[in-house]
Structure 1
Amino acid sequence: MNEKNLNFAGEWSQAGGMCRHMTQDKQPTVLSDIYQEEINIAIWRREKPASLQYSVKEFLALNPTFQKEMILTPQDALSRVSESFDNNMTEVSEDIAELVDMFCYLFELKQAGMRLKVLDRAMCPKFHVDKVPCRLVTTYQGMATEWLPHELVDQTKLGWSCNGLPDSESGLYKSESDIQQLDCGDVALLKGTLWEGNENAGLVHRSPELIANEKRLILTLDFK
């Protein structure tokens, strides 16, 4: 097992003196680190099998505008996801079902809210925090989610407080080099503002800008 990589850069943030950090590893067990108070993003740096990559490309070719929202249980996820595809995308269905099972097991949930979308533009182009306890995010194809380390964010510049200025001019962060990005295939847990004790420390993130004619396939799982 690879040694975990925890980022403890900076003791204090500009948001009420709280410290929040990231943790990452090539093993899925790293996702349980999200329960640690000081962690607001846990990243499983996984490599997609070649068969899954092929299945995703085939899926995008056949479903260029696919969008689906479902409430799934670990018991019915595989059958219901498979039924929602007009064609037999076994690898994609099995991967989604496995992530639903992991998500529900980790948080002791009976069901999860799934969203699977094909995008050709940034869904949430401005940096923001999610008003949820925790969200699982993975990008199957295309550019993946961008995020900011907590200690480098001026949270007084989020949302309406930016006075209509773009993120790059609002003072939300100091340098473009502050922006971090997940890799395609990574599975990340993003702690939101509804997590108890994390009210002012939700992970600040946004959708990436896509180049012309690029397609992005993204999966999210939420508490239900």
Structure 2
Amino acid sequence: MNSTLAAEKISLYRTSSSSVEPSVLTDIYQENVNIAIWQNQLSKAVIENVKQVETSHKPLNVVMTAEPQNIVKHLSEYTLLLENKRALCEYVGLLVDMFCTLFELKRVGLRLTKLDRAMCPKFHVDKVPCRLVTTFTGVATQWLPHDVVDFSKLGAGSNGLPDESSGVMSSPVDIQHLNAGDVALLKGTGWFDNEHGGLVHRSPSVQSGETRLLLTLDFMD
């Protein structure tokens, strides 16, 4: 079987799992699941902190190695913009702790950033084992069910065409959207025996004058 047929065969067994319960994140260990979505509702205190960050004219781009035991302190000290945002920092700390516990990690690569444009605007697959993604405000990550993807049209295979006309998907109606507040685990090609099973996703377009506050967590160990 050639690599294209192998990819198509494997793609038939990749699906999503979602729930309002945080325990759904453990479903990422299931071989056929390449995105697990905790449909979380942010607390009023976190939403208030997020609004303060969003309306500030100050930029925010936190990039650090984070450990569960000291992340709240380090975040509040990283920038004055987070100095009095206790609820937001504690929630990020909770997600760091959950991610480390789930994957038995001592530390993670953390990025918390305010964006006014799409960071990765074309559909792609991450070459990582697994990435946690959550958008606190604004439009959230878009992704495609595996069985609608033409993998030959990813990257250079798109011939420079936009996703909507490159043939990477059957139809634009196939595009799935996370919601602000959702916490998602995106399985990449670096996951064991998942070379052709990574989640195909992209950053959404951000309208002029709007921003999104995005958190990502990655393996460090």
Q: Where on the TM-score scale, by shorter chain, does this alignment land: which range? A: over 0.9
Letter in 2 for 1:15: A
Scaled by the length of structure 2, the TM-score of the pair is 0.93
Is 1:17 the equivalent of 2:13?
Answer: no
Aligned to 1:147: 143
Aligned ranges 1:70-85 → 2 under 5 Å? 70-85=64-79
Aligned ranges 1:1-224 → 2 under 5 Å? 15-18=7-10, 19-62=13-56, 64-86=58-80, 87-224=83-220
Higher helix share: 2
Aligned counterparts of 2:175 and 2:20: Cα–Cα separation in 1: 21
Letter in 1 for 2:137: Q
Aligned counterparts of 1:161 and 1:59: Cα–Cα separation in 2: 39
The CA deviation at 1:14 is: 8.1
Letter in 2 for 1:118: K
Aligned counterparts of 1:64 and 1:83: Cα–Cα separation in 2: 15
The SS at the match of 1:128 is: coil
The CA deviation at 1:15 is: 2.5
Aligned counterparts of 1:180 and 1:123: Cα–Cα separation in 2: 18
The CA deviation at 1:120 is: 0.3
Aligned counterparts of 1:14 and 1:155: Cα–Cα separation in 2: 11
The SS at the match of 1:16 is: helix
The SS at the match of 1:140 is: strand
Aligned counterparts of 2:24 and 2:9: Cα–Cα separation in 1: 26
Unaligned runs of 5+ in 1: 1-12
After superposing the two structures, state which structure 1 stretch, 214-223 or 58-67, moved more.
58-67
Q: Deviations over 1:78-106 (max 9, x none)?
A: 11112113131001100110000000000
Aligned counterparts of 1:192 and 1:116: Cα–Cα separation in 2: 20
Letter in 1 for 2:190: L
The SS at the match of 1:22 is: strand
Q: Is the Cα–Cα contact under 8 Å of residues 15 and 154 in structure 1 kept in the other structure?
A: no
The SS at the match of 1:15 is: helix
Letter in 2 for 1:77: I
Q: Is the Cα–Cα contact under 8 Å of residues 64 and 118 in structure 1 kept in the other structure?
A: no
Aligned counterparts of 2:55 and 2:210: Cα–Cα separation in 1: 12
Aligned counterparts of 1:62 and 1:92: Cα–Cα separation in 2: 15
The SS at the match of 1:201 is: coil
Q: Deviations over 1:98-122 (max 9, x none)?
A: 0000000000000000001100011
Aligned counterparts of 1:187 and 1:202: Cα–Cα separation in 2: 17
The 1:221–1:163 alpha-carbon spacing in structure 2 relative to 1, beyond 3 Å, is same
Of all paired residues, the percent bearing the same amino acid is: 52
Letter in 1 for 2:7: A
Q: Deviations over 1:22-50 (max 9, x none)?
A: 00000110000000000000000011111
The SS at the match of 2:131 is: strand
Scaled by the length of structure 1, the TM-score of the pair is 0.92
